[in-house]
Amino acid sequence: MILIICQVYPPDPASVGQHLRDVAVSLVSQGHKVMVVTADRGYDDNSIRYARREVCDGVRILRIPFSSFGKKSMILRITAHVFFVLQVFFVGVFISPLEGILITTVPPIGPLAALAIAAIKRVPIVYWVMDINPDQAIALGAVRQGSLVVRLMNSLNRTILNNSHSVVTLDRFMAERLKEKADITDKLSVFPPWPLDDYLESVPHDKNPFRVQHGLSNKFVVMYSGNHGPNHPVYTVLQAAFRLRTRDDIVFLFVGGGLGKQEVEEAIRNKAGNIRSLPYQPLNNLKYSLSAADVHIIIMGNEVVGIVHPCKAYGAMAVARPIILVGPEKCHISELMKAQNIGSRVDHKDAEGLARVIKEFADKRPSELSAIGGNARELVKKGLSKEFLCSIFTDIVEAAVQRQKPKTIIMDVARKQF
């Protein structure tokens, strides 16, 4: 049995859970037994409750209580993390036989459970680093550098990195930060997450019921889809929308959830008629919602480069839509743009520049937009597809459970190194 530990798993819409499902199903197809231990309530909306036990696509899923209290309070989030880790430990030590453990950074203290189970059961760990804490908390001003919690988290980081059979992270900026914490060069793989290909295809506007349902016909749709968190500040986009309020043909559509959604709702209450808001969309509706856009906004906070990764870019690229990055020049998506014409970049707080870029896209001929979107889709096909990347990840996990030498796959799509 391979144990996968993560606070989120489908049908929860959080992307880390969606990617873990792809890996879990792939491992099952290779003949492994897989068990996922996750929370029984929604990660973003804890009022949503999921089945406690089920088997989906051959994957056994155990959802445990008191593991998600929502995101409104940091104290409640930490409490949920602690309860989750304790319960995972007691589940894991009684799994027999256990081949190995796959752990992510959701929750950040999840590696505690993996380390304890691995020590008792003497099994390897594969550590999938989706974001890096306490670095993220420090960058966002939530904790102080040198504080006790920071020292404890850094100690946990060093321990899990040193004791994992294999470590996987998402881009070279994150890899550099991890290597500052521990010498993991001989077991580190670097490649981005894949788009959810099973649910994505480019849907033409004239055949897209989502555009009709939400009154988007004959509109140029600028979409931000995903988590509206502090890592992805929406201020510049809202200011650009204000500057373009006289363009009746341009609509800004914010899809998803998170604390930053409050700023969007406030703008709507202040009579911003060109801004609209929708919640997360179900997976079976994803191809329609993402394809409803004419251009996608990707936001990368300056302070969190090398700490988080803008996964939402790949969904936009997979449905062949241009992207506009609001973020620094030195980041992964900026490098993708330098390698291929897939969109444009604007600095944070340059609302005037963003408004200008959006107008330029809105005034392009459909064939020009289609060509840029086609470049993005082609980049996905060449090196970012689920078939390609998920198979690489599965090979890494299999090498670990078979006690083989760690695979070290270093992909740099931006520099065309596949």
Domain co-membership, 252 together with 361: yes
Can you tell me the distance from the alpha carbon of 183 to that of 37, in angstroms, rounded to the nearest whole number? 29
Indicate whether 175 and 307 sit together in one domain: no
Question: How are strands ordered across the β-sheet holding 323-326?
Answer: 275-278, 250-257, 220-227, 295-299, 323-326, 343-346
Looking at the structure, tell me whether residues 175 and 74 fall in a common domain.
yes
Q: First CA to last CA across the chain, in angstroms?
A: 31
d(CA 131, CA 138): 13
- Please, what is the angle between helix 261-269 and helix 235-243, to 10°? 20
Cα distance between residue 175 and residue 58, in whole Å: 33
Q: What angle in degrees, to the nearest 10, is found between the helix axes of 148-163 and 110-121? A: 40
In this predicted structure, what is the pLDDT of residue 418? Answer: 45
Q: What pLDDT tens digit does each residue of the chain (418 aa) get?
A: 999 999 999 998 888 999 999 999 999 999 999 999 999 988 777 788 999 999 999 999 999 998 776 666 677 778 888 999 999 999 999 999 999 999 999 999 999 999 999 999 999 999 999 999 999 999 998 899 989 999 999 999 999 999 999 999 999 999 999 999 999 999 999 999 999 888 889 999 999 999 999 999 999 999 999 888 888 999 999 999 999 999 999 999 999 888 888 899 999 998 888 999 999 888 889 999 999 999 999 999 999 999 999 999 999 999 999 999 999 999 999 999 988 899 999 999 999 999 999 999 999 999 999 999 999 999 898 888 899 999 999 999 999 999 999 988 888 765 554 4
Q: How many domains does the chain have?
A: 2
DSSP helix/strand/coil, 165: coil
Per the omega criterion (within 30 degrees of 0), is the bond before 366 cis?
no
In contact, 13 and 283? CB cutoff 8 Å: yes
Most distant CA pair in the chain, distance: 65
Strand ranges across the sheet with 53-56: 53-56, 59-64, 34-39, 2-5, 100-104, 125-129, 166-169, 188-190
Query: Is the same domain home to 46 and 165?
Result: yes
What is the per-residue pLDDT for 14?
A: 81
pLDDT at 271: 83
Q: 204 and 146 in one domain?
A: no
Contacts (Cβ under 8 Å, ≥6 apart) of 147: none
CA distances from 197 to 194, 211, 314 (A): 8, 21, 10
326 with 368, same domain: the answer is yes
Q: Are residues 6 and 105 in the same domain?
A: yes
Integer Cα distance of 91 and 228 in angstroms: 33
Please report, for the domain that includes residue 88, its CATH number: 3.40.50.2000
pLDDT of res. 415: 55
Q: Is-contact 42 80, C-beta < 8 A?
A: no
217 and 116 both lie in a single domain: no
d(CA 399, CA 50): 32
Domain of 77 in residue numbering reads as 2-194+385-415
Determine the Cα angle at 341 with ends 340 and 344, to 5°. Answer: 120
Domain co-membership, 315 together with 246: yes
Same domain, 392 and 378: no
The answer to whether residues 281 and 166 belong to one domain is no
CA dihedral sign, ordered 230, 231, 236, 239: negative
Cα distance between residue 225 and residue 26, in whole Å: 27
For residues 173 and 241, state if they share a domain.
no
What is the phi/psi pair of residue 196, to 5°? -80, 75
